[in-house]
Structure 1
Amino acid sequence: MNQSKVSTFVFAVASLAGILCVSKTDGQVYGFPPSSPQHRSFPIPSSDSQPISITLGPDGNFWFTEQNRSQVARITPQGVITEFLTPTFSFPIGITAGPDGNIWFSEGAAGSGGQIAFITPDGHIEEICSQALPPQRRVLSLGRTATSGSPSLSRTRFGGSNCLAGT
């Protein structure tokens, strides 16, 4: 892989199967197996989708956000990509696996104040915390930190402020 493509990676996640990366600029998901110097690329079906974050789900699939298309996508270990449109055009950004078996993501549409949403393993999306912030503030990232199994801390960045919540 050439250096210019490496520099386009926005986010990567590692698993026992290797490393998976999303590339914001060329609309690809790249897989790097642990025992091979070769990589595989998987083109994202929607053009100009700008994938921006990726996480490993409890279902064994990888999930990522497509900021420009307002979609969340699932990629199986075999490389099959399925896209799910969010109910509102809301620019999904951060994504993380939740302790409830769902995939949680942040939506950062300018002017809407941002939202938190989740998608079930079968693709049902529910948006919550609608209009949780004033219009000039956005939900920029969402993550989960495990602390020795239980409990866990969820962290969300609202504009320039960070918020931690225990579960």
Structure 2
Amino acid sequence: MNEFNESHDTGSVREFTVSDADAGPYALTEGPDGALWFTLVHRGAVARRDPDDGLVTVHPDGDGPTVITAGPDGALWFTEYRAHRIGRLTPEGDYASFAPRTPGGGPFGITAGPDGAMWFTLSSADRVGRVTVDGEVTEYPAPGAFPSALTTGPDGALWCTLNQGNAVGRLTTDGHGTAYPLPTEGAGPVGIAAGPDGALWFTEIGAGRIGRITVDGDITEYPLPDPAARPHAVTAGPDGALWFTEWGGGRVGRITVDGDITSYALSRTDCEPHGITAHDGALWCALETGSLARIEVRP
């Protein structure tokens, strides 16, 4: 499948159509091969965008592939929310999947852990799972309700958002969990990422805020200019700032570690930006309406 023509260009934001509007680009990551890999959640596929010519190759693998990330074994790992499985895809296109121990758990977030394994959330089962690169699965109780995104923290623990518990959770690699309640009721945290300042940064989709939590559990919240922005995913950028998607307003936001906020408009307010990642010196986000957006990082 070849990349379609560029559909939107404002100088700092460029958009590329990569699928039909109903395929649903959802999350994306830079692969071990230097390409941009993304999930097509409604089509049941994982796709690759070549960094040189923009060619898009679609792998029809997975049922409801959702969040995707690179693993320590040179493969791409992703959650299959509808199939309740964890998928693995090599850059060459070899696919395998693994079943968590808890059926119907609704795997969502996934990250490479500090121990050489992949860690994932089972949102519907309030559990966090671990799968080795050989497919051995272990599970632990989550420290709160509906664990969503997760990431490895600078302290060697796993940190996750507890969307329905209105908290951020910390889980050690031996399964000991701690929850840190958020100051704002109904915050509904979703995305989380390790920041360049030794803290964890997360989105509050229900409160229109970006949060910061230290490894000691101290929390700071930063209200966005648009309270209805519904921030979704967040990632560390190559410029020392945090970047996030504003699902409710069709924008990409940037926040410095000091709390200064900038926003970049996408082509449509209803383009539904979800996942975001740094790639090739820029920020890229997946628009569920069928495109990938590239946001230039300026000095």
In the alignment, which residue of structure 2 is the partner of 1:148?
none
Counterpart-to-counterpart distance in 2, 1:60 and 1:159:
31
Counterpart-to-counterpart distance in 1, 2:190 and 2:154:
22
Unaligned runs of 5+ in 1: 146-150
SS in 2 for 1:160: coil
Following superposition of structure 1 onto structure 2, how do residues 64-75 of structure 1 map, counting pairs within 5 Å?
64-75=202-213
Q: Cα distance 1:137–1:16, how it changes in 2: closer, same or farther (>3 A)? A: closer
In the alignment, which residue of structure 2 is the partner of 1:29?
168
Following superposition of structure 1 onto structure 2, how do residues 139-150 of structure 1 map, counting pairs within 5 Å?
139-145=273-279
Cα deviation for residue 155 of structure 1 reads 2.8
The correspondence for 1:96, drawn from 228, 232, 235, is 235
Cα deviation for residue 124 of structure 1 reads 1.2
Q: Cα distance 1:144–1:48, how it changes in 2: closer, same or farther (>3 A)? A: same
Q: Cα distance 1:16–1:135, how it changes in 2: closer, same or farther (>3 A)? A: closer
In the alignment, which residue of structure 2 is the partner of 1:6?
127
Per-residue CA deviation, residues 59-103 of structure 1 (Å, 9 max, x unaligned), is 110000000100000000110010000011211111000010000
The correspondence for 2:252, drawn from 94, 99, 116, is 116
1:126 paired with 2:262, answer: yes
Cα contact 1:94–1:143 (8 A) shared by 2: no
Aligned-partner residue type, residue 115 of structure 1: R
Counterpart-to-counterpart distance in 2, 1:107 and 1:24:
17
1:63 paired with 2:201, answer: yes
Counterpart-to-counterpart distance in 1, 2:285 and 2:209:
20
In the alignment, which residue of structure 1 is the partner of 2:153?
15
Counterpart-to-counterpart distance in 1, 2:293 and 2:208:
25
Counterpart-to-counterpart distance in 1, 2:293 and 2:226:
26
Seq. identity, %: 25
1:44 paired with 2:214, answer: no
Aligned-partner residue type, residue 232 of structure 2: I
Cα contact 2:154–2:199 (8 A) shared by 1: no
Per-residue CA deviation, residues 144-165 of structure 1 (Å, 9 max, x unaligned), is 25xxxxx456431112324264
Aligned-partner residue type, residue 21 of structure 1: C
Cα deviation for residue 15 of structure 1 reads 3.1
Cα deviation for residue 26 of structure 1 reads 1.1
How many matched pairs?
A: 154
Cα contact 2:251–2:269 (8 A) shared by 1: no
In the alignment, which residue of structure 2 is the partner of 1:81?
219
Counterpart-to-counterpart distance in 2, 1:134 and 1:13:
30
The correspondence for 1:137, drawn from 255, 271, 279, is 271
Of 8-17 and 95-104, the range deviating more from structure 2: 8-17
Cα deviation for residue 143 of structure 1 reads 1.7
Which aligned runs of 4 or more in structure 1 are off by greater than 3 angstroms?
A: 151-154, 164-167
Counterpart-to-counterpart distance in 2, 1:37 and 1:104:
30
Counterpart-to-counterpart distance in 1, 2:217 and 2:263:
27
Cα contact 2:168–2:180 (8 A) shared by 1: yes
- Higher RCO structure (Cα 8 Å, ≥6 apart): 2
Measured on the aligned residues, the alpha-carbon RMSD in Å equals 2.1
1:160 paired with 2:294, answer: no
Give TM-score, length-normalised by structure 1.
0.83
Cα deviation for residue 40 of structure 1 reads 1.0
Aligned-partner residue type, residue 121 of structure 1: V
Per-residue CA deviation, residues 117-141 of structure 1 (Å, 9 max, x unaligned), is 1111011111122xx2223322122
